[in-house]
Structure 1
Amino acid sequence: MADNFESPSQTFSLFDYVILTLMLLISTAIGIYHAFSGGRQKTTSEFLLADRTVHPIVSALSQVASFISGITMLGTPAETYIYGSMYWLYGFSMIITGFITSCLFIPVFMRLEITSIYEFLYLGIVLYAPALALSAVAGISLWGSVIAIGIICTFYTTIGGMWAVLWTDVFQVIVMIAAFISVIIGGCMKLGGMDTMWQIAEEGGRVDFWDFRVDPTIRHTFWSVVIGGGMTWGTMYCTNQAQLQRCIAVGSLKRAQITLILSFIGIIIVISLACLCGLTMYANYVGCDPLARNRIDKSDQLLVFFIMDLFANAPGLSGFFTSGVFSAALSTLSSSLNALVAVTIEDFVKPFWKDMSDDYLTKLSKLLVLIYGVLVIFIALLVSVMSTEILQLALGLFGIIGGPLIGLFSLGMFFPWTNSKGAISGLVFGLIITLWIGIGALIYPPYVPKLPVSTDGCLNTSLPVYTTQDTYTLEEHQYQFALSTFYSISYAWYASIGYACTVLFGLLISFVTGEFY
């Protein structure tokens, strides 16, 4: 790949635009179909939960599609390229998450027959990340992409409800997985096979799974990824409205547990494909790193750049992969918009307007999807000023907010002696601690050593080289300020810290106040 690396960046061909447009039209058509089929989304039960008649396979594929956001498609391969394959162990953490979710949390939610549990917004990252990468590398308008994704997703979610979300997810997850596979096959064929790719990655230090150090400041170790990662994914599945709403929609506990098992298997496959993409990129650019040659600005643009380079002489394939990135954003956004509406209706509207008819509730639900869709576009503008890598930013956000929240749910479900003062105090304390660490880490970024790269194989040696090696040493970081070690705690531990602080402090306050009910 290094032989043709110095050629000018490719732009989209007519075929690429046709394929991308076709994917967006299919997603829209699915929404229109469900707006005029079945019960035509006239009840809140159908609009928000598809009348609880969803097949487990459809629900599982929808969960996988929601998991594969643009953050996953762009951030995971870049993570593997720069830091190695330790992230792959997040697949093992799904075993922990699966046990906690299916055995402890789902039975409670199914028994209560609820619609809402809660939801939180990280959708600006989801919407902005793929648009940034595509605009910088493929020449697609940044805000044109943001607005297009936001409008299309809001439209089909508004008119088609949960059924539209589910079936567009099924279509989109097929596109996303096919896009990953096409990159791996194409990249390995350039190298002469997967064996060659793996050998190059091993020699470059990218294949490393068994780091058992217990230092919490090391970004990725076996313990931080598997144990800390298990808790982080737990925040997404145990107490995340978008995921659990799909489980609730299947109608029974057994079907919900089957859904989760299938979903976790699918997610492990997706993580594996994303990491293989990262190794494939590294093996192709082993002698001419794009970041070091200033061909791209951010690591999150690596995969899109690789696609444009890899498929430069194959019109349509770049558009097909881009369709996968757009599909990832659409699936996550539609799922979350639907979930946000469910929370608003169940937790804020029904308690105060108990006599509102179901017809008005359904119309209000559709209006709320539209409003939230517009808000997400504005949130994407705020995300644009952040410089942190999107994968770490997203997972860090899950941990900071999700850890204390899963702690709050645990206090209510598993500790009957907890009172309201203890629960609220525990949540506030947990949030203070995780926000302190997370914001501190943004202001004073922790030292994270990157694996070495090379530019020795570049064809055009006259282009400037921008070093990607660390000029900022660990010793300089440690002595810069007193709290450097505290802020250096790996983002993978945020959820566990938030959970522990919330539960322990919540129980302590409950015992001190002594008002148990």
Structure 2
Amino acid sequence: MSAQREIRTFGVWDYLVFAGMLFMSAAIGVYYAFRRGGQQTKEDFLIGGRKMTAVPVALSLTSSFMSAITILGIPSEIYRFGAIFSLYAFSYIVTVIVTAEIFLPVFYKLGVTSTYEYLELRFNKRIRLCGTVLFIFQTILYTGVVIYAPALAMNQVTRLNLWGTIIATGVVCIFCSSMGGFKAVVWIHVFQAGIKLAGFLAVIIQGTVVQGGISNVLNDSYHGGRLNFWDFNPNPLQRYTFWTVIIGGSLTYITIFGINPTQVQRYNSCKSRFHAKMSLYINLIGCWAILASTTLCGLVLYSRYHDCDPWTAKKVSAPDQLIPYLAMDILQDYPGLLGLFLACVYSATLSTVSASINTLAAVTISDLIQPHFPSVSEKTWLCKVTSLLYGSLAIGMAAMTSLMGGLLQVVLSIFGVIGGPLLGLFSLGILVPFANSMGAFVGLTTGFAISLWVGIGAQLYPPLPERSLPLSLIIDGCNLTNFSQQRNWTLTTGASFSPNAFQVHNEERTPLMDNWYSLSFMYFSTVGTLVTVFVGIIASLLTGGRKQSIDDRFLLTKEDFLSNFDFFKKEKRVLSHPLHEIGNGGTKIRLTSINQRINQHELFKG
């Protein structure tokens, strides 16, 4: 097989292409740092002055969504479990509609910089603090995974020191985020979207060519059982079925697009609600394109190694290294293409991590600093210092990431365990008028405890193969003599995604391990959301929730839907008053930046 030939590393052209991507990304950051006097206000730095339009914001949403986890994780999942993962196309539809029609109307009319400002308006400061702390913890974990992934790919391709590349990744992300602020992040995303698409297409096109055409790729995939699009098994313990992907996948991604400040910050930066909604629907097209590309890439990967699996043959130490292995195998004869692929993976990291760092700075300043030190929070230097701090924490978290399981499962588990209860909390606030602060707190605490229980249990006692049902991988076609003579691809640093890195081994598995802990990780978010909402409703009813009076602006109303049809009307000017007081369930809340975003009709409605 051609896969067994000697595989070279980077050449001069590869380094030039890769360096060019880094230079352009940094240049955009520098440009927006000094353009028209730089980022003069906190609002300029964190949300671009609320002057963005739909297309660049949509590209930013799509670009940050296409992280290194997507590039390395999804094709390897399809290689191991089949193309059923492509059913996410339906989950994306549900996600975008729910986000655009339920969560966006409320967040946009309040003009919040951080979604957790809403929790104080709707409930109280303590609920806001709980949500903020959980989000910060979740995002730092996620950012560590995203930094570690391309560093691992770099190590595979260039043999550079793994931890040196991790630090370099974090430094570049910190520079881009702290120099140019939100606008720089958005336009870096737009530039890097093209790089990621080009790198991905290079692998797909060349992989299809070397396999003799798309018909051979599909034929190999069909006979290997990879075209398993429709599996309606209702068993919640099976890793991927129609139901786990549609139900679990939709709720998981609603936690990302609907309430995660990283995404909400983007569409709230649009100059009108129409542009904000359009950015989400345009982004849906981008998500479909990414899913189609990753699915095809996974099928090409399987076709190439359908009778000689590099993982089983120990040519790679983890499934997430399969795509870099494929790239080196099929692109090495074309100068610059290996560099383009690594630029693709690396730019995916830069776009995602820079967005996360910028959002962490926004949430910290808006939720933790501004309520106590309002004058200091308006300083742009504080935004830059906060970005530097979180970038450094993300680098440290990347070291812990090496102890976790597969890339995609780790990320979706993080969003499920933490994001699910948070989604339940926001759903209580927006959709349940009688939900009160006590019910919200009890629901959030219970939902987080339950989802954390199943999440940690699944990591310590992973489901057996008969639960997750991986498809067969064989090495019948390998020339094992040639394999032993080749360069050893298994990392010697010990820093690879090993599914057994910190699992508890136990010969006697209990029913709890084989059932509750074997729950598909796709359902982690579903469990957290449903428990939070159910317990929150019961607790609110028991603690007098029906007696409170809630301002309509904190709820989803029919006017929010009907306003979809008056986008062509001239928007009314926002209030210029710097401070107002609004009653919320008997509590007086002082509003400054939020009221500056509410027009007179909305403020005095009713």
Question: Shorter-chain TM-score category?
Answer: over 0.9
CA contact (8 A) 2:239 2:469 kept: no
Tell me which residue corresponds to 2:124. Answer: none
CA contact (8 A) 1:19 1:320 kept: yes
Change (3 A) 1:227 1:478: farther
Tell me which residue corresponds to 1:234. Answer: 254
Counterparts of 1:227 and 1:477 in 2: how far apart (Å)?
Answer: 32
2:267 aligned with 1:247: yes
CA contact (8 A) 1:287 1:453 kept: yes
Give the Å deviation of 1:462.
Answer: 6.2
Tell me which residue corresponds to 1:495. Answer: 525
2:138 aligned with 1:140: no
CA contact (8 A) 1:6 1:460 kept: no
SS at match of 1:5: helix
Tell me which residue corresponds to 1:320. Answer: 340
Counterparts of 1:112 and 1:221 in 2: how far apart (Å)?
Answer: 39
Counterparts of 1:333 and 1:27 in 2: how far apart (Å)?
Answer: 13
Tell me which residue corresponds to 2:556. Answer: none
1:91-490 map, 5 Å: 91-118=89-116, 119=135, 120-121=138-139, 122-356=142-376, 358=378, 360=379, 362-386=380-404, 388-447=405-464, 448-461=468-481, 463=483, 480-483=509-512, 484-490=514-520
Counterparts of 1:397 and 1:57 in 2: how far apart (Å)?
Answer: 29
Give the Å deviation of 1:208.
Answer: 0.9
Counterparts of 2:507 and 2:105 in 1: how far apart (Å)?
Answer: 46
Cα deviations by residue, 1:243-277 (Å, 9 ceiling, x for unpaired): 11110011221111100001111011101101110
Amino acid at match of 1:348: L
CA contact (8 A) 1:31 1:159 kept: yes
Cα deviations by residue, 1:337-384 (Å, 9 ceiling, x for unpaired): 1111111111111111133473x2x11011101111111100101111
Give the Å deviation of 1:460.
Answer: 4.2
Change (3 A) 1:514 1:25: same
2:9 aligned with 1:8: no
Change (3 A) 1:313 1:510: same
**Deviating 4+ runs (over 6 angstroms):** 476-479
CA contact (8 A) 1:238 1:244 kept: yes
Change (3 A) 1:209 1:53: same
Tell me which residue corresponds to 2:497. Answer: none
Counterparts of 1:247 and 1:255 in 2: how far apart (Å)?
Answer: 8
Give the TM-score, by structure 2 length.
Answer: 0.81
Amino acid at match of 2:386: L
Counterparts of 2:37 and 2:105 in 1: how far apart (Å)?
Answer: 29
Counterparts of 2:461 and 2:321 in 1: how far apart (Å)?
Answer: 24
137-146 or 17-26: bigger deviation: 137-146
SS at match of 1:454: coil
SS at match of 1:351: coil
Tell me which residue corresponds to 2:16. Answer: 18
SS at match of 1:320: helix
Counterparts of 1:219 and 1:357 in 2: how far apart (Å)?
Answer: 45
Tell me which residue corresponds to 1:468. Answer: none
CA contact (8 A) 1:446 1:477 kept: no
Counterparts of 1:459 and 1:478 in 2: how far apart (Å)?
Answer: 35
Amino acid at match of 1:332: T
CA contact (8 A) 2:53 2:271 kept: no
TM-align CA RMSD = 1.7
Amino acid at match of 2:305: Y
Cα deviations by residue, 1:459-493 (Å, 9 ceiling, x for unpaired): 344647xxxxxxxxxxx999721202011111111
Counterparts of 1:251 and 1:93 in 2: how far apart (Å)?
Answer: 28
Larger radius of gyration: 2
SS at match of 1:207: coil
SS at match of 1:487: coil
Change (3 A) 1:331 1:442: same
Amino acid at match of 1:331: S
Counterparts of 2:483 and 2:198 in 1: how far apart (Å)?
Answer: 35
Amino acid at match of 2:55: I
State, as a whole percentage, how many aligned pairs show the same letter.
Answer: 41
SS at match of 1:355: helix
Counterparts of 2:443 and 2:178 in 1: how far apart (Å)?
Answer: 37
Give the Å deviation of 1:456.
Answer: 2.2
CA contact (8 A) 2:4 2:482 kept: no
SS at match of 1:38: helix
Give the Å deviation of 1:425.
Answer: 0.6
Tell me which residue corresponds to 2:70. Answer: 72
Give the Å deviation of 1:158.
Answer: 0.6
Counterparts of 2:536 and 2:265 in 1: how far apart (Å)?
Answer: 27
Counterparts of 1:379 and 1:371 in 2: how far apart (Å)?
Answer: 13
Amino acid at match of 2:32: H
CA contact (8 A) 1:137 1:296 kept: no
Counterparts of 2:304 and 2:27 in 1: how far apart (Å)?
Answer: 38
SS at match of 1:36: helix
1:50-89 map, 5 Å: 50-89=48-87
Cα deviations by residue, 1:169-217 (Å, 9 ceiling, x for unpaired): 0111111111111111100101121111111111111111100011100
Amino acid at match of 2:518: S
Amino acid at match of 2:448: L
Counterparts of 1:148 and 1:211 in 2: how far apart (Å)?
Answer: 43
Tell me which residue corresponds to 1:470. Answer: none
Tell me which residue corresponds to 2:88. Answer: 90
Give the TM-score, by structure 1 length.
Answer: 0.94
Counterparts of 1:117 and 1:366 in 2: how far apart (Å)?
Answer: 21
SS at match of 1:212: coil
321-330 or 455-464: bigger deviation: 455-464
